[in-house]
Amino acid sequence: MCESWSVGRWAAVIVAILIAAGAGLLAGYVRWGSERPALVESAEPPRSTTESELTTLRAQNRELQARIEQVTREQERLAQENEILHKQQATEQVLGTPGELPALPPK
């Protein structure tokens, strides 16, 4: 900056900045630091509610996954039955023997 400033002035400026920063931190702690526990406590009920909802959603997700697996297995079984019926129908058409559809296989 200016060459005319002495080391003593620079030291005084640095000390003044440090004192101002310390005063700002102290004022901030006095103003908001004491309110922090109250803010944390006020956040606890929504957090516990959210955790409860999350647990419920996870249980519902597991239930839906089980249902999807069950439906998938049923679709596979029906696809196999359909394939068997088509083969039987094709065989009957080739042999020329009209007939009724076979009984459904047991579940």
Longest dimension (CA), the chain: 117
| Any domain includes 101 | no
| Any domain includes 41 | yes
| Any domain includes 103 | no
pTM: 0.44
Calculate mean pLDDT across residues 73-82: 93
**Helical residues (DSSP H) of the chain, grouped into ranges:** 7-28, 36-95
Question: In whole angstroms, how large is the CA radius of gyration of the chain?
Answer: 40
Number of domains composing the chain: 1
| Any domain includes 98 | no
Calculate mean pLDDT across residues 67-88: 93
Whether the CB-CB separation of 81 and 105 falls below 8 Å is answered with yes
Question: Rounded to an integer, what distance in angstroms lies between the CA atom of residue 18 and that of residue 12?
Answer: 10
| Any domain includes 62 | yes
| Any domain includes 102 | no
44 falls in which pLDDT band (50, 70, 90)?
A: low
User: Which residue range is the domain that position 86 belongs to?
Assistant: 7-93
Q: Which residue has the higher pLDDT, 47 or 52?
A: 52
